[in-house]
Amino acid sequence: MGVFSSVGRGVAGAAASFGRVCEFTGEAVVSLLVVLFCPWKMRFGDFALAFQRAAFNAIPVATGIGLLLGLILAFESAAAMRMFAAEVYVSDLLAIGVFRELGPLVTAIVLAGRSGSAFAAEIGTMKVDEELDALTTMGLSPVRFLVPARVLAAVVAMPVLTILAELAAVFGGAAVLKAMGVPTPVFWEHVRGVTSASILSLGLAKSCLFGLLVGLVGCGAGMNARTGADGVGVATTSAVVGSLVAIAVADGLVAVVSFAWGI
């Protein structure tokens, strides 16, 4: 009987958690739609502050990781291509890989580690301090009051950071190939030749989707934080782990859809 009761409590707890996630997601989506169709209801002060922290404060990290990504990809690929005297085609590989896949993915991981965890910590601390209860007492929905500004800030910040990271990666690859004897004009000509509007659009669309997921998961983890001493820490960990899982699943789904549509 002890085993069955433990299993039952686990299933009931999982069902309750799933219900809370669905409830938060529905209310958050409705709040975002309200803000999009009625922009004057946006808390622009919170949006500006969240955007500054998510975008401007993350520029050094995003560009640094992008530069290292381009250096490593170009160096490793050129080492393999050298056996076939085809180092020049590393520029094609680098451009397609960075603009289509690695740029948005790596930037989303950076955003999840910085901003997703920050959203969870901020809202979780407010819950521990009973500030969310105070909003409810005043007749304000905590989700509508706190979530839209942060989620939209993450959505807008992601393309900005992605573009900067991709440019840094391409410049890093150009530096490596120049050191290996590939002229810089030839490198840029190959990059221009393989870079199409569809690849750039797909990468930026994925970055917006990843930003939306990071914002929703981070805010949701903060809203569902426990009120105990370790509630904020658990919420922050859940935000980062949940964001990474959501990004991986979404990236896989987008890859399948892109293949089916021939993009």
Assigned domain for 152 exists: yes
3-class SS letters over 85-141 = CCHHHHHHHHHHHHHHHHHHHHHHHHHHHHHHHHHHHHHHHHHHCCHHHHHHHCCCC
Confidence of residue 3 (pLDDT cuts 50, 70, 90): low
Q: Which amino acid is at 137?
A: T
**Residues of the domain holding 209:** 42-261
pLDDT of the residue at 187: 80
Instruction: Compute the distance between CA of residue 151 and CA of residue 218 in angstroms, rounded to an integer.
Output: 9
DSSP 262: T
DSSP 230: T
Assigned domain for 138 exists: yes
Assigned domain for 24 exists: no
Assigned domain for 6 exists: no
DSSP 112: I
pLDDT of the residue at 13: 65
Assigned domain for 25 exists: no
Quickly tell me which residue has 């807008």 as its tokens: 156
pLDDT of the residue at 259: 78
Instruction: Compute the distance between CA of residue 29 and CA of residue 32 in angstroms, rounded to an integer.
Output: 5
Instruction: Domain count for the chain, please give it.
Output: 1
Torsions phi, psi of 48, nearest 5? -65, -40
Residues 6 or more apart whose CB falls under 8 angstroms from that of 25 comprise: 216, 220
The answer to whether the beta carbons of residues 120 and 225 sit under 8 Å apart is yes
Assigned domain for 218 exists: yes
Instruction: Compute the distance between CA of residue 216 and CA of residue 219 in angstroms, rounded to an integer.
Output: 5
Assigned domain for 97 exists: yes
Mean pLDDT score across all residues of the chain: 82
Q: Which of 209, 227, 72, 232 is nearest to 154 (CA)?
A: 209
Assigned domain for 5 exists: no
User: What is this structure's pTM?
Assistant: 0.87
Angle between helix axes 142-179 and 184-194 (nearest 10 degrees) is 140
Per residue in 38-88, pLDDT (tens digit) is 777 778 888 888 888 888 888 899 899 989 988 888 888 877 777 766 677
The answer to whether the beta carbons of residues 168 and 174 sit under 8 Å apart is no
Query: Bigger pLDDT: 262 or 255?
Result: 255
The stretch 249-262 carries a mean pLDDT of 83
